[in-house]
Chain A
Amino acid sequence: MLISLTWLQDYIEIPPAIDSRELAEKFTVTTAEVEQIERIDISAQGLIAARVISAKELSHSRNLKLVELDVGGGKTVQTVTAAPVIHEGSNVVYAPPGASVASMPKIDRASVADVESCGIILPGEALGIEMAAQEAVFLDETFSSGALLPSDLFDDWIIEVDNKSITHRPDLWGHYGIAREMAAILRVPLKTYPVVPIEDLMTPDLPELPISIGDSSACRRYSGLVVEGVPTKPAPLWMQLRLGHVGMRPISGLVDLTNYIMADLGQPMHAFDASAADQIDVGWAKPDEKFRTLDGMERTLHSDSLMIQCQGKSVAIAGIMGGLESEVSETTVSLLLESANFDPSTIRRTAGKLGMRTDASARFEKSLDPTNTALAIQRFIVLGRDMYPELTCKSRFSDCYPGAVKPTTVSVNPAHVARTIGRNVSLQEANDLLKPLAMDVSAIGDQWSVAVPSFRATNDISIEADVIEELARTIGFGTVQPAMPRVSMRQFEKNGLHELERQSLAYFTTAHSYHEIHGYIWYDANWFRKHDVDPGQCVELKNPAAEGLQYLRRSLMPGLLAATARNRFYFPEICLIETGSVFTRKQSDDNEVRHVGLVRARRGKKAETAVFEELKGAIAGWAWDRFAKQVAYRPAKANKHHPWEHAQRTAELTIDGDSYGTLSVVDASFRRRMDEHLASWAIAWAELDLSKASKLARHNEKLDTIPANPLVELDFSFLVPSASLYEKVVANASGFEHPLLRRLCYVGSYEGDSVGAGQRSITLRALIGEASRTLLDEDAAAFSKEFEKHLVEFGYHIRR
């Protein structure tokens, strides 16, 4: 929302001591954020009005016209212009040689396209008005040919207020509302809004315009007036400049006038050609009704689109855009002025469905004050009479107001004010603060009653907290003395999942060298398509960020593996970790669970056993660190939706016999398909269910007592067939019972040349001892003999 300071000064006097930036800062800290403040400095010197005598296309140069101008005093000049439209008889802004504007090079006589050109017809852009390229600014008859255009007319300061910060303030969508706020901030008086008295428009000898509203919940008020004597001509220069400076393109006198009132009061208006709309019915569109809007587009309406109709025929989409057929044109004799108030959600819904956000609909969505429909028409007459001396009313001010708003009063407990603001506010102070905002505070017993003006009563101030906000901001948040809170002690039940997630990340990134990354929570469908894999039943986004990003992830691995590929050139070894949510289509609460995903990748195919063992070791350490529990692995079937799970080498992580995740190595063909450079890498990965693990009770970690007599360590290495699972082998070995055996542990396993093909060497360590005595060599020998015998019984071959 752009605000012109010149415009504001119609309503308030800004003290000269306050510069524009300071004003913007005050507005920011009291009302709403100023995003930007910009000086419009045209530095216009010597610009004059000039009448176009003739304009003809230059035969040898496209887009250029040779124009003869009356520059007053009986003098004429010829100039070349690129303006797309120049009519004979129109008045333009002309810069003769020697005139200057800041944005243009020296203006002089020149030869343009081999034609003598004297000065230039100034394009709107040079005056800070956003217009089509090179478009000229046309003047009304205020200035005769040769009249000097006052240079101070062109300069201004423009404040850009953040639209989001005034969503709740319908009154701030026009300059008068902003002026009221500025008046309160600066403590200066606000001038009365200049309108004709409504009684003047109630002339009984003029006819009433028939207006009916079918559904008063959709249209709270519709005011109308028929006028004549509004010929087609440009708006006055000052109005065009103001509109241009606040980002509205000047179009024609009438359109500019209604736009001006919208930017002034915040109330959108529309003018119909009264020959196409001489009575008004506000009603719903027929299903699939076709309607051509002002912009020439044909729209298909819905049965919940609110329409302005005339004798059963639609003439406008209420609050959004008028129809082409009832558009005001050069042949229009009388106009029907619409100034209405529509239900914000109806307008919002229709604008959304039709994809038509207009300046008008944006304002109606904010819930405008119904009082303004009359004010806008009253204002139209004031400005219109200046522009159109022949302006006459052809109807009475006609008004259908079924949704009349009752005056709002809000009851406020001063103790609540003190509680929230942190200090007492007296009734006197409250009135001093709120009177400039047109709110009146009176005491009723120990409560306050705050009378809220109509322009703050729609979707804005309705409860005590709203009034407290008004007090707090006008006192100034900047003046608040910070104070730490006084609190009641209480204990909160532990959030086990969050703790586990935090500790798991800390463990893998410090006890090991994993680097945490964050990936998107949706799969890339193209990645799955590349691998001919169906991602499975996923929750889908109805509006994905891009084509193919519609599936919510069920696993963290695609993201982690993609990141592995991304880093492959820069690191010989990549350890990644991510914790995050994964999603399923279940209806129950566990349709979102937290996982931790790990990747350990190393350049070199031979590293596969090493990276997998290191990953497993890190996970075992994690389980001990978190739960003081040992982990076990068992073979698992690969999930067909997860191509990173190796068909033969996938395992399940179990703790106390329950599964908590999956891990495997990535098979060669999949690595190659992912990225040909990864073909020569070894990649191990694991994905664990943190939500489930967070429910695991922590085991009590018990420490050893140092035995009085030392234990003896004996290592046993033996060969087992490679196909025998570790789980089975150690179960067999653990079946051994002996009175001296204190502890049996796993030391390691080895496969390789020295043990022969098809064989695996496993080393276990036995700790033996007796409480009452020190063991002798003979005891150890006897133990070894018996244990080896036990192992041999399973067909294991003892290595010496």
Chain B
Amino acid sequence: MDIDQLNEQIARIEAQVGLDLAGVEQVDALRSLETTVLGKKGSLGVLIGGVKDCPPEQRKAFGQTVNQAKTRVKTLFDSRLGKLQSSVSEAETKAETVFDPTLPGKCKEMGSVHPVTSVQWEIERIFERLGFTVEAGPEMESEYNNFEALNIPATHPARDMQDTFWLDNGKVLRTHTSPVQFRAMKKFGAPLRIIAPGRCFRYETIDASHENTFHQVEGLMIDRDISIPNLIAMSRMLLREVMERDVELRVRPGYFPFVEPGIEIDMNCQICGGQGCPTCKQSGWVEILPAGMVHPNVLEAGGVDTEEYTGFAFGLGLTRLAMMKFGIGDIRILNGGDLRAMVSPERLGGPILKDKV
């Protein structure tokens, strides 16, 4: 057989396969047809088997021809098989129940972090992106670290501003996160960029808007030429990031012994938008960020050279911010442990269809 005869024969086989495949409707029939063509004794199979008996000078050409033919035929079979299979699965699917893609999925119950933690983490991420490190500091603090190191000597009237829980081991429950300023300066020296979220304690009567146990985030930045414009820019950045919208600030003097100048940064009330409501005591502003340039006495207590370095510090009311973000009206909820008031209902159950709570 010469190559022309071979091509002719192959063309015949391929034409026949095309005709036969068109009539095949079952996968089984297709498989047996495939055997009659490509099997060892099949029409094309025989030709493939015959290659080894060819004279050596023809073997290469014959081999290539039949192998190419095999690939083409195989493709025909595979393509037909694909069509048959998809029509089979379509039929199977039709036999099952109606598929409703709009039905909710199923998921195990989600856990949750505390609203304050959620806002705290958000703030940590904001500052970590700016190269700040997160420090903690103990809740049981020495009187020195809580007061003296922060320029609040024993006779200072400012001690009245923060009614203190005193402990029988001579320590106090920290009244603010500011002692971490001192600890961080001692630990790292300047330049310094930290935030210190944590719990603080003040001896006061609890009601819907006062707690004796609450969270703050202290911020401290010490470097060459840190200025009031820097403090205001960072405060604006912080509040904009946390509230996820542009906020208006009002900067005014404030008095805290550990800063000089001391400022209070107010944010336009996010509840009423500045029109005046009970949350902002009708003023349109909410006190959110007491801050200032670190007092030279505080820098010196922390061993920082005040000629070379300046710094700013702030103490953000984390608890208040969380209440604002989550729309919590009663501060007692936060330490109350009642999940109904602390976890969104969507986390606790399935989709909510109508909500008039």
Contacts and interface: CB of A to CB of B under 8 A. Distances in A.
Contacts, number: 234
A168 B255 contact: yes
A487 B212 contact: no
A754 interface: no
Contacts of B194: 492
Contact of B157 (A31, A365, A483, A592): A365
A484 B165 contact: no
A265 interface: no
A574 B339 contact: yes
Contacts of B257: 168
A142 B34 CA distance: 127
Interface in A560-611: 562-563, 566-567, 570-571, 573-577, 580-581, 583, 585, 591-592
B121 interface: yes
A541 to B, nearest CB: 6
A426 interface: no
Contact of A592 (B114, B139, B193, B337): B139
A469 B226 CA distance: 15
B254 interface: yes
B133 A575 contact: no
Contact of A473 (B109, B111, B261, B335): B261
A132 B173 CA distance: 42
Contacts of B310: 419-420
Contact of A515 (B124, B251, B335, B339): B339
Contacts of B114: 516-518
A495 interface: yes
Contacts of A585: 169
Interface residues of A, number: 91
A33 B121 CA distance: 31
Contacts of A573: 109
A752 interface: no
A591 B167 contact: no
A167 B157 contact: yes
Contact of A505 (B117, B191, B228): B117
A219 B343 CA distance: 59
Interface in B279-295: 281, 293, 295
Interface string B201-234: 1010010000011000000010111111110111
A543 B164 CA distance: 9
Given A349-B155, A516-B112, A29 B252 contact: yes
Interface in B155-171: 155, 157-158, 161, 165-169, 171
Nearest to A475: B228
A349 B343 CA distance: 47
A422 B229 contact: yes
A789 interface: no
Nearest to B120: A502
Given A167-B158, A514-B111, A539 B169 contact: yes
Given A420-B310, A509-B113, A567 B338 contact: yes
Contacts of A577: 111
Contacts of A421: 227-229
B262 interface: yes
Interface string A271-302: 00000000000000000000000000000000
Given A465-B260, A478-B250, A567 B227 contact: no
A119 interface: no
Contacts of A332: none
B186 to A, nearest CB: 14
B320 interface: no
Given A465-B261, A482-B229, A508 B111 contact: yes
A465 B337 contact: no
B261 A469 contact: yes
B234 A540 contact: no
A463 interface: yes
Contacts of A466: 260
A539 B166 CA distance: 10
Contacts of A519: 335, 337
Nearest to B265: A477
Contacts of B323: none
Interface string B103-118: 0000011111110110
Contacts of B188: 492
A420 B255 contact: no
B337 A498 contact: no
Given A516-B117, A592-B140, A543 B229 contact: no
Interface string A445-484: 0000000000000000001111011001100011011111
B183 to A, nearest CB: 12
A469 B260 contact: yes
A344 B155 contact: yes
Contacts of B350: none
A165 B237 CA distance: 26
Contact of B261 (A468, A497, A518): A468
Contacts of B254: 33, 165
Contacts of B343: 515
Contacts of A406: none
Contacts of B173: 521, 541
Contacts of B124: 502
Nearest to B293: A420
Nearest to B347: A515
Contacts of B113: 505-506, 509, 516
A540 B296 contact: no
Interface in A332-367: 344-345, 348-349, 365-366
A520 interface: yes
Contacts of A543: 165-166, 203
Report which residue of B158, B251, B263 has the largest number of chain A beta carbons within 10 angstroms of its beta carbon. B251
A518 B158 CA distance: 29
A541 B338 contact: no
Interface string B133-149: 11110111000000000
A489 B131 contact: yes
A378 interface: no
A490 interface: yes
B139 A420 contact: no
Contacts of A505: 113, 117
A47 to B, nearest CB: 31
Interface in B162-190: 165-169, 171, 173, 188
A791 interface: no
Interface in B283-339: 293, 295-296, 310, 334-339
Nearest to A564: B337
A487 B131 contact: yes
Interface of B: 108-114, 116-117, 121, 124, 131, 133-136, 138-140, 154-155, 157-158, 161, 165-169, 171, 173, 188, 191, 193-194, 199, 201, 203, 206, 212-213, 221, 223-230, 232-234, 236-237, 250-255, 257, 260-264, 281, 293, 295-296, 310, 334-340, 342-343, 348
Given A348-B155, A492-B133, 20 more contacts: A33-B252, A164-B161, A421-B227, A422-B229, A465-B261, A466-B260, A482-B229, A484-B230, A486-B223, A492-B193, A509-B113, A515-B339, A516-B111, A517-B337, A539-B140, A543-B165, A545-B206, A567-B337, A570-B339, A574-B339
Q: Which 10 A-B pairs have the closest CB atoms?
A: A563-B337, A345-B155, A469-B261, A482-B233, A509-B111, A492-B133, A477-B251, A422-B229, A485-B230, A465-B260
30 contacts: A33-B264, A166-B255, A463-B296, A468-B293, A469-B260, A477-B251, A482-B229, A482-B230, A492-B193, A498-B135, A502-B121, A502-B124, A510-B111, A512-B111, A513-B109, A515-B343, A516-B117, A519-B337, A521-B199, A539-B167, A540-B168, A541-B166, A543-B203, A545-B203, A566-B336, A567-B338, A571-B348, A573-B109, A576-B337, A583-B140
Interface of A: 28-33, 35-36, 164-169, 344-345, 348-349, 365-366, 419-422, 463-466, 468-469, 472-473, 477-478, 480-490, 492, 495, 497-498, 502, 505-506, 508-510, 512-521, 539-545, 552, 559, 562-563, 566-567, 570-571, 573-577, 580-581, 583, 585, 591-592
